[in-house]
């Protein structure tokens, strides 16, 4: 592996040099290896996604109905079926266009993975430094890296000047790590001489040789893994398919039955055929899919206002069915910002607890590479947090640093050397007793790092005097002091803090510095005999809103599992702080999971409290896959590149919008625009509400299918005048009832909706109870009122039973118009009845949903146009009606609403018993 090679061997292995590639050689390699870009895998072209809107089951059913209309018009012209067929095709196109545009608007049109790569990068070509586009990098290129850069490709470090990287976007680990050029024999991914594409340089500078570009990088491999995940149908999509199949069977069976029945009663083929088309269309809820689409779109818009962006409309409802949320820690549950939470020294003056531990803070300030510029702290998050704590305690310090021994993974510490006396007028002086007689010409050594590497170097300890005073004193280090330090260290670690140790000393003679910044004097001389100053405990603090959000998830019966790349102890501590765990959770580390069988992992997943730490992308996908195999509906949150495969695999992926990487946002179904974990709870509530609201308007839509179909059946059996034209059916399905149905789609959440467990996996959108309530209970009541108005008009016009009237007869048109109006008026009562399946309309309030009122007004106005305007009469085959027909129908609408109120009262009484 390239990490095992020395610097000279790297140049030979990649056929390059200290000067980098020549322009010609770089061009040849670019042709050989391709552009340094991430290629999307298995992306469905836009035209295929658009075509898919015309080929789903309900669309095919409507295409069949339109085809039958065109066929009928061809063999038997003049029956008006041409305009009907055109109308159905228009319905298909409108719904397809609306759905496609809505989903396309919320989907990123650019390749998000490319955005993680820098636009330009500095490269050495034949010894000349130039700036080129990142996609033009080739293996063997020598790149320059500095603070704030994003690494453009996988590269081997050959020179490091305090070069520090943050691999959080790739690994999920919040801690930054130092890079060096030395050969490393350990694991490739842990190698300190490798920088990976998509990660960030937080401090320092360096040079590196590119050895992998584009899809060959670790970043590209994850992108390939993400692209290989197959997208599946959402629960709502499955339910819609199931519903349309049920409706299709009912419609086709009914049409075929009455087509055959027509022959038995002596009707002609074309008469029976037209009737069969009519009965099929009467049973197909053409407005169902547009209404579902519009309802989901409105739900996604409401969620966007709550800072949750939905990329796929059906994901709105999917959220409401999730049973498990697998959440990342860094940047999701936490703020991805290091803060000093605890400062500890051995100085024992209890009365001075609020005073500043002066020497500890000066050490923290001077042994630090972070900066404060334009009101912002820049650099490694840990060092920035330490600098912030020191500045707030003692202010700014002007001092001359003459040497630095940077942190590395072997030494696990950092040491700086300063001249004594320089800049001390700007801050409280270092206690005189620490000068050791060296005077103003001495030098100070400041060290910070892991306790296990700093403590063995200490022979003294700040353990006397008063904190913050000029007589802070040090004593000889003893075993008792070491034991006290270790106890405190472990205690802070148990609290989930990242603990940094600080030490210092003064020497009379500084190290001799060579031109390249290396010290001739032995490191052991510089870092030996230190005085232990104290400890700082740092924490990536939890988001303040997370505990309440997790509590709500628990009340809603949703399990929350932490899956993080960080260490187990830190993960458990954070989990306790936010209320995710209460007892002793099961903690599974990545290496441990790799050795586990699927059956063993399934047993672990049954634990009440479980945390996954040190997870790789493959580990995360494995957890999600097993949970889904066990019947769970899984939501996965995350913000890094490493989260993308699991985000794509999950039933719904949730990415962070601010701290999240573009690849995570691209893979997700939903993006939290404010990175607020609590927004997930609001989104789940919205999802549950939308599911219930869809049931409400399906009940409303299905309830009018019965009064549309039964008059047709009577027309076939008893030879009565045509009670309803197909165009009038479409006017109801796609016109008068659309706005009221949408109004039901935005009903407010029912009381206690987030106190219920997730609905069972077997829970159907349409069940027997819904079908009985809509088709039988509400449908038959509506049918009685509709038929009453129909026969009222016929008998009032002088019609006698058994008399056949042509379809263009004025009385036939008036009677059919009465049927049309009857369905509209009965649906007015029905929309109030369907606002809740349990709660009384008097409890909800007639005017609490303004869109219902607007919808009723809209359908009355549209009905008046269809009934009284000449254009409406010509298109829909209607005729004007007297006010008496309107007054006749209103009581039936009141009866329907009253009957539903009685049913709800009996239902509530039965549930309370």
The residues annotated with a catalytic role in the active site are 328
Q: How far is residue 145 from each of residues 126, 178, 196, 208, 690, measured CA to CA in Å?
A: 18, 13, 12, 8, 50
Cα(885)–Cα(866) distance, rounded to whole angstroms?
Answer: 15
Q: What is the dihedral of CA 205, 525, 502, 148, to 10 degrees?
A: 0
The residue written with tokens 């709870």 in the block is 681
| DSSP class of 25 | H
Q: For residues 885 and 556, what is the distance between their CA atoms, to the nearest angstrom?
A: 50
Question: DSSP characters for 377-438?
Answer: EES-HHHHHHHHHHHHHH------EEEEE---TTT-EEEEEEETTTTGGGSPPPPGGGSTT-
Could you tell me where the DSSP H helices lie in 678-803?
678-703, 705-718, 726-731, 738-745, 768-771, 779-796
Q: Are 832 and 855 in contact (CB under 8 A)?
A: no
Longest Cα separation, the chain: 126
Cβ–Cβ under 8 Å, residues 179 and 195: yes
User: What's the token pair of residue 172?
Assistant: 């999920």
Residue 654 CA to residue 677 CA, distance in Å, equals: 10
CA-closest candidate to residue 378, choices 525, 536, 201:
201
Q: What are phi and psi of 563, to 5 degrees?
A: -125, 110
Whole-number Å distance between alpha carbons of 204 and 182: 17
- Cβ contact 116:664 at 8 Å: no
Q: Are strands 610-613 and 586-589 parallel, antiparallel or unpaired?
A: parallel
Closest listed residue to residue 724, CA positions, set 824, 803, 796, 837: 824
Which residue from 98, 682, 381 is spatially nearest to 670, judged by alpha carbons? 682
Give the phi and the psi of residue 160 in degrees, each rounded to 5.
-135, 125
Nearest to 89 by CA among 295, 279, 286: 286
């Amino acid at each position: 592996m390239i990490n095992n090679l020395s610097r000279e061997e790297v140049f030979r292995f990649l056929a390059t040099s200290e000067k980098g590639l020549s322009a010609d050689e770089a061009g040849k390699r670019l042709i050989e290896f391709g552009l340094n870009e991430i290629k999307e895998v298995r992306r469905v072209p836009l035209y295929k996604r658009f075509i898919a809107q015309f080929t789903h089951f309900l669309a095919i059913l409507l295409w069949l109905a339109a085809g039958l209309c065109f066929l009928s018009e061809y063999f038997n012209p003049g029956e008006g079926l041409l305009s009907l067929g055109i109308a159905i095709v228009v319905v298909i196109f409108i719904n397809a266009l609306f759905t496609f545009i809505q989903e396309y608007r919320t989907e990123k049109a650019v390749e998000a993975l490319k955005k993680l790569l820098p636009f330009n990068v500095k490269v050495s070509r034949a010894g000349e430094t130039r700036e080129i586009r990142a996609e033009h990098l080739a293996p063997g290129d020598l790149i320059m890296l500095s603070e704030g850069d994003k690494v453009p490709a996988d590269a081997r470090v050959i020179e490091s000047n305090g070069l520090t990287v943050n691999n959080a976007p790739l690994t999920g680990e919040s801690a930054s790590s130092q890079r060096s050029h030395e050969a490393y024999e350990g694991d490739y991914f842990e190698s300190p001489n490798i920088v990976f594409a998509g990660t960030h340089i937080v401090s320092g500078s360096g040079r590196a040789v590119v050895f992998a570009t584009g899809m060959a990088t670790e970043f590209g491999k994850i992108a390939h893994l993400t692209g290989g995940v197959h997208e599946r149908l959402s629960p709502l999509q499955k339910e819609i398919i199931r519903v349309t199949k049920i409706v299709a069977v009912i419609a086709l069976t009914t049409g075929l039955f009455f087509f055959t029945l027509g022959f038995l009663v002596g009707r002609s083929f074309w008469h029976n055929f037209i009737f069969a088309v009519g009965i099929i269309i009467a049973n197909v809820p053409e407005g169902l899919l547009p209404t579902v689409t519009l309802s989901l779109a409105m739900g996604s818009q409401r969620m966007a206002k709550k800072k949750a962006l939905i990329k796929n409309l059906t994901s709105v409802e999917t959220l409401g069915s999730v049973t498990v949320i697998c959440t990342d820690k860094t940047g999701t549950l936490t703020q991805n910002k290091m803060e000093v939470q605890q400062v500890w020294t051995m100085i024992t003056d209890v009365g001075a607890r609020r005073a500043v531990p002066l020497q500890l803070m000066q050490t923290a300030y001077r042994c630090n590479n972070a900066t404060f510029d334009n009101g912002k702290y820049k650099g490694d998050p840990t060092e920035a947090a330490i600098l912030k704590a020191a500045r707030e305690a003692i202010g700014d310090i002007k001092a001359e640093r003459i040497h630095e021994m940077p942190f590395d993974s072997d030494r696990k510490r950092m040491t700086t050397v300063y001249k004594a006396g320089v800049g001390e007028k700007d801050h409280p002086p270092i206690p005189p007793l620490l000068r050791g007689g060296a005077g103003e010409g001495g030098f100070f050594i400041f060290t910070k790092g892991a306790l296990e590497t700093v403590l063995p170097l200490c022979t003294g300890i700040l353990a006397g005097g008063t904190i913050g005073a000029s007589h802070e004193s040090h004593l000889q280090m003893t075993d008792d002091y070491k034991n006290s330090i270790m106890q405190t260290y472990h205690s802070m670690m148990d609290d989930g803090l990242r603990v940094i140790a600080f030490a210092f000393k003064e020497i009379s003679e500084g190290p001799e510095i060579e031109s390249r910044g290396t010290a001739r004097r032995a490191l052991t001389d510089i870092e030996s005999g230190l005085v232990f100053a104290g400890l700082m405990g740092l924490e990536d603090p939890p988001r303040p809103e997370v505990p309440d959000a997790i509590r709500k998830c628990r009340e809603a019966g949703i399990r929350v599992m932490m899956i993080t790349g960080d260490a187990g102890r830190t993960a458990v501590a954070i989990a306790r702080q936010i209320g995710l765990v209460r007892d002793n959770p099961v903690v599974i580390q990545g290496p441990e999971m790799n050795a586990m069988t699927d059956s063993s992992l399934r047993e672990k997943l049954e634990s009440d409290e479980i945390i996954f730490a040190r997870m790789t992308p493959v580990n995360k996908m494995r957890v999600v896959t097993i949970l889904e195999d066990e019947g769970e509906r899984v939501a996965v949150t995350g913000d890094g590149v490493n989260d993308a495969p699991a985000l794509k695999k999950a039933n719904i992926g949730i990415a962070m919008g601010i701290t999240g990487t573009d690849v995570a946002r691209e893979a997700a179904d939903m993006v939290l625009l404010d990175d607020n974990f609590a927004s997930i709870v609001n989104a789940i509530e919205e999802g549950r509400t939308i599911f219930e609201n869809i049931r409400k308007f399906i009940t409303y839509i299905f309830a009018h299918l019965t009064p549309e179909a039964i008059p047709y059946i009577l027309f076939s059996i008893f030879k009565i005048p045509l009670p309803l034209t197909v165009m009038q059916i479409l006017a109801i399905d796609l016109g008068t009832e659309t706005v009221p149905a949408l109004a039901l789609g935005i009903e407010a959440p029912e009381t206690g909706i987030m106190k219920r467990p997730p609905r069972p996996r077997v829970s159907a959108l349409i069940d027997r109870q819904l079908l009985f309530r809509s088709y039988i209970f509400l449908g038959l009541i509506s049918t009685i009122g509709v038929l009453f108005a129909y026969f009222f008009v016929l008998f009032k016009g002088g019609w006698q039973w058994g008399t056949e009237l042509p379809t263009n007869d004025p009385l036939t048109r008036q009677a059919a118009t009465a049927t049309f109006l009857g369905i509209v008026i009965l649906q007015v009562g029905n929309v109030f009845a369907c606002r809740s399946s349990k709660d009384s309309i008097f409890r909800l309030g007639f005017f609490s949903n303004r869109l219902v009122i607007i919808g009723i007004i809209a359908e009355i106005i549209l009905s008046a146009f269809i009934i009284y305007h000449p254009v409406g009469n010509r298109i829909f085959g209607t005729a004007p009606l007297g006010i008496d027909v309107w007054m006749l129908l209103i009581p039936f609408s009141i009866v329907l609403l009253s009957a539903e109120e009685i049913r709800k009262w009996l239902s509530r009484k039965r549930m309370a018993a």
